[in-house]
Amino acid sequence: LSFDKEKVWLNVDGFDNLIDKTKPEELDQAKDNQEKLQKAIEKVEKLNQDILDKNKDLENSLKEAKKRLNDLKKQTSSDKDHANFAEKGQDIVCAAISAITNGTVNFFQLYYKDDCKITYLPAEISIYPQNDNPECQLCLRLMLYQLENIANSYPDYLKIHDTTNL
C-alpha cells in the first residue's frame, strides 16, 4: 500500500489498483490502515524470529541429548561387562563379581558338568540345573547370596534380576 497526496495505490496479489483520492479523510484512513498493517507485519516478523530462535534452541538441545545418548551407548557397549565402580583394574565391585561367578562356574564345570547347563552372554552368565541335585542347588544359593551382598553394598553397580517367573 502506498500513497501520495492525490492517489492511493493498493497492491493486492500482484494487481495494482488505483484509488482516486477525492476525500482527505480517505487518505488519512489509508495512512492509518497502512501503519496498522506495518505494525502487524512487524509483530508477525518478530514472532517468526522468536519461533526460529526457539527452533534453534530445540535443535541444539536435541543434538546435545543425542550426543549424551551416544556417549552412554558407547560407554554401555564398551563397559557392559564392567561394574564402572572404578577404572578397569581398580574396580573392587567388578573383581568381586568376577571372583564369585568365575569361581562358581569353574566349580560346576569341574564337579557338576553333567548336572547343569551354563551359557555365557556379554555381562550375563546363566546356570541351569539339569536335575534336582541338592548340592548344585546349594552352590547356586551360595553364589546368589554372595552376589546379593554385593548388590546391597553397591546398588548402583550391581542389579540382580530374578528371571524364574519370566
Q: What is the mean pLDDT of the chain?
A: 77
**97 or 120: which carries more pLDDT confidence?**
97
Residue-wise pLDDT tens digits, 104-117: 989 988 988 888 88
| pLDDT reported for residue 57 | 86
**106 or 15: which carries more pLDDT confidence?**
106
Residue 14 has pLDDT above 50, yes or no: no
Mean pLDDT of 112-141: 82
Name, of 59-63, 152-156, 157-161, the range with top average pLDDT: 152-156
Helix H, strand E, coil C: the string for the chain is: CEECCCEEEEEECCEEEEEECCCHHHHHHHHHHHHHHHHHHHHHHHHHHHHHHHHHHHHHHHHHHHHHHHHHHHHHHHCCCCCCCCCCCCCHHHHHHHHHHHHHHHHHHHHCCCCEEEEEECCEEEEEECCCCHHHHHHHHHHHHHHHHHHHHCCCCCCCCCCCCC
For the ranges 3-7, 46-50, 134-138, the lowest mean pLDDT is seen at 3-7
| pLDDT reported for residue 16 | 47
Residue-wise pLDDT tens digits, 51-99: 888 888 888 888 888 777 766 655 544 445 566 666 777 788 888 988 9
Decide if 161 is catalytic: no
Decide if 116 is catalytic: no
| pLDDT reported for residue 149 | 94
